[in-house]
Amino acid sequence: MTSVPVTRDRVDRDPLSAALRPPIDETDEEKASRLAEEDAAKRVSHAIDEAIRIEKQQRKKHKLVRLLLLGQSESGKSTTLRQFQRLYTPNAFREERILWRAVIQLNIVRSIHTILDTLTDIRRRDVYPSSPYTSDPDSDSESENHVQLPPHLEDLRRRLYPLRHVESLLISKLVPPNEHEATTLGYGGSNSVNGNVGHSWNAHQPARPFQNNEVFVRPGAAWKRRSSGRPQSAGTTGQETIDESQAVLHHCRSDIVALWNDPVVRQILRRRKVRLEEGPGFAGCDARRLNRSSYLNDLDRVTSIQYFPSDDDVLRARLKTVGVSEYSFHMEAGDERGTEWRIIDVGGSRSQRREFSWLPSTWVPFFDDVNAIIFLAPICGFDQVLAEDRSVNRLEDSVLLWKEVCSNKLLAKVDIVLFLNKCDILEAKLKSGVRLQKYVRSFGERPNDPEVAQKYFRSKFSAIHREHSPIPRKFYGFCTSVTDTTTTGGIIAAVKDMVLREHLRASKLL
């Protein structure tokens, strides 16, 4: 290859050089001004180059973490999501607390209706109208057919009738008019509070008239806009959004308290195995000491005209999820500030699992790039049945799902974190005398102790993970009560660190 000398002639023929060459007759002043302009242009150009470099660096650094929440309905998926939001986007979480008031009101109203419907059901079965309503309140052998409601409960039932209106009001506030399923009110005979009161496990029990009429929300923020009652911010003090539902609840509060604390009502609920304390609003409640914090045991506060939900109230609220939704947020503070988290929350009921093809291969492409799965198994459900299918034991359903998730070949490389959840209810249940061994035979003669039970369940779930994972992977298992802010904070931080570490390792950045 020969080199061609660059002559003045060649340069002159280069149109670019010709255009950029300073004019031959340039004065000193013109030259100084041209050089100044060129300097300014260079500085701008450098600034642009630097901005591009920084943006590239940031894009390279930008962390996107995708987490999938799985587990049966009422296992605590949406509550776990709310814990992430509370911990890592506290400002946004605080802003939204007022929007949960309508959900909490509905949870309370439905709890009351569960009690009233149970009483109505007993009245219907009353074949001896002249008999005393209860001869021996503590006798479990007494037939319910001999029970007649005492006059004071009849009065309470009548006085609490306005709550039916509040229920319709709240449903129309939270649910769009075309959602027929959610707006069908199941009066008379339903013993569900949003379908999630503890239904006891008895395969031979005849099905009671039961309507699964739980209110649900579809993905998106539409229900929050409806709940706020106005398109803009709902305010932060609660004072500016006094509404009709809260006014009626406030008006009825002494009757609600009287109903909830009535010994005959408690006895009827116990006999009917209607366990409101396992439903919404009772998180962290010790079944033996029902006076600990819960909506129904804190009625003065939650029915006050200026009621503003606390963090705990929001975590205890129950609103069923329908569909699949991805919540995205950026960490607001700390070392991970700016990291984007996308958490996928799915509806866990059986119909949802069928409708959205939870696990078959059609489902996987949607979730295949998740960094980790948090699987929630509510281990307190050993003596309960699914709200949507009363022939299926809750624990058994959880174990089968766990096996299905662990053995899925397409998810073989995804880390799975197990939350053995609702340990607070497990503890209360065992301490109240329910014997685990009666429902889980393999528990054998071990002590009926919550810690022993947790350890036992952990080892069983771990063995399934080991045996059914297509390729060996580490087992991460936690015993949780995700409504408990104190203990869950540490667990979620550990999970977050683990997920980020694995994410970095996978990106070969470690």
Query: Which residue stretch of 36-44, 116-124, 226-234, 345-353 sits at the interface with ligand GTP (rule: CB under 6 A)?
Result: 345-353
Query: Position 228: which residue type?
Result: S
Among 424, 430, 491, 495, indicate the residue that binds ligand GTP (CB under 6 A): 424
Q: What minimum distance in Å lies between the beta carbon of 256 and Mg ion? A: 27
| CB closer to Mg ion out of 78 and 297 | 78
Build a one-symbol-per-residue string for 76-105: x at contacts with Mg ion by CB under 5 A, - elsewhere: -xx---------------------------
422 touches ligand GTP by CB under 6 A: yes
Closest distance between ligand GTP and the C-beta of residue 283, in Å? 4
70 contact, one of Mg ion, ligand GTP, none, CB 5-8 Å limit per kind: none
Figure out which of the listed residues 67, 108, 169, 283 binds ligand GTP, where binding follows CB under 6 A: 283
**Other Cβ atoms within 10 Å of 250 Cβ, number:** 17
Confirm whether residue 321 is marked as ligand binding. Answer: yes
* Count of residues touching ligand GTP (by CB under 6 A): 26
State which residue has the least CB distance to ligand GTP: 348
User: Is 448:435 a contact under the CB 8 Å cutoff?
Assistant: yes
Per the annotation, does 315 bind a ligand? yes
Q: How far is the CB of 118 from ligand GTP (least distance, A)?
A: 20
* Integer angstrom CA distances of residue 116 from 157, 252, 265, 306, 318: 7, 14, 9, 27, 20
CB under 8 Å to 390, separation ≥6 — which residues? Answer: 199, 205, 207, 210
Half-sphere exposure of 368 (CA within 13 A, CB side): 9
Is 362 annotated to bind ligand? no
Task: Give the residue, chosen from 190, 192, 321, 325, that forms a contact with ligand GTP under the rule CB under 6 A.
Answer: 321
Q: Is residue 424 marked as binding?
A: yes
Do residues 320 and 147 make contact, with C-beta atoms less than 8 angstroms apart? Answer: no
Q: With beta carbons less than 8 A apart as the criterion, state whether 338 and 330 touch.
A: yes
Name the minimum Å distance from CB 243 to ligand GTP. 22
Stretch that binds ligand GTP, among 24-32, 113-121, 254-262, 318-326 (CB under 6 A): 318-326
Q: How many whole angstroms separate alpha carbon 356 and alpha carbon 347? A: 9
Q: Are 454 and 426 in contact (CB under 8 A)?
A: yes
Q: Which of 26, 1, 3, 4 is nearest to 13 (CA)?
A: 4
Give the C-alpha separation, 315 to 83, whole Å: 7
71 near ligand GTP (CB under 6 A): yes
**Of residues 119, 120, 488, 193, the one with CA closest to residue 311:** 488
148 in Cβ contact with 129 (< 8 Å): yes
Distance CA 368, CA 384 (A): 33
Say which entry of ligand GTP, Mg ion, none residue 425 contacts (CB below 5 to 8 A, set by partner kind): ligand GTP
- Provide the CA 58 distance to its chain's centre, in angstroms: 32
* 238 versus 347: smaller Cβ distance to Mg ion: 347
Question: Counting beta carbons within 10 angstroms of the beta carbon of residue 282, is it exposed (0 to 12), middle (13 to 18) or buried (19 or more)?
Answer: buried
CB atoms within 10 A of CB 258: 16
The region that residue 201 occupies, defined by phi over 0 for left and psi between -120 and 50 for alpha, beta otherwise, is beta
User: Is residue 450 near ligand GTP by the rule CB under 6 A?
Assistant: no
Min dist CB 196 to ligand GTP, Å, is: 6
25 is in an annotated binding site: no
| CA angle (337, 341, 344) in 5-degree steps | 165
Q: Which region among 67-75, 229-237, 241-249, 367-375 touches ligand GTP (by CB under 6 A)?
A: 67-75
289 is in an annotated binding site: no
Contact code string over 320-349 relative to Mg ion, x by CB under 5 A: -x----------------------------
318 is a contact residue toward ligand GTP (CB under 6 A): yes
- Which among Mg ion, ligand GTP, none contacts residue 195 (Cβ within 5 to 8 A by kind)? none
Assess 483 for contact with ligand GTP (CB under 6 A): yes
Is residue 212 involved in binding ligand GTP (CB under 6 A)? no
Instruction: Return d(Cα 406, Cα 395) in angstroms, integer.
Output: 16
347 binding ligand GTP? (CB under 6 A): yes
Q: Is 390 annotated as a binding residue?
A: no
Strand, coil or helix: 69: strand
Contact mark string toward ligand GTP, 76..115, x via CB under 6 A: xxxx------------------------------------
Backbone φ, ψ for residue 164 (5° rounding):
-60, -40
Q: Among ligand GTP, Mg ion, none, what does residue 316 contact (CB within 5–8 Å per kind)?
A: ligand GTP
Complex with ligand GTP: residue 114 or 421, whichever CB lies closer: 421
Q: What is the DSSP letter of 298?
A: G
φ/ψ region of 323 (left if φ > 0, alpha if ψ in -120 to 50, else beta) reads left
Question: Is 319 annotated among the ligand-binding residues?
Answer: yes
**Three-state SS for 229?**
coil
Which of 83, 114, 303, 481: binder of ligand GTP (CB under 6 A)? 481
Confirm whether residue 509 is marked as ligand binding.
no
Which listed range, 27-35, 288-296, 317-325, 335-343, lies at the site for ligand GTP (CB under 6 A)? 317-325
Q: Kindly state the helix (H) or strand (E) to which residue 268 belongs, with its residue range.
A: helix 263-271
Closest CA to 408 of 470, 351, 363, 451: 470
Q: What is the binding site for ligand GTP (CB under 6 A)? A: 71, 73-79, 196, 280, 282-283, 316, 318, 320-321, 347-349, 421-422, 424-425, 481-483
Binding residues for Mg(2+), as ranges, are: 321
Q: What is the binding site for Mg ion (CB under 5 A)? A: 77-78, 321
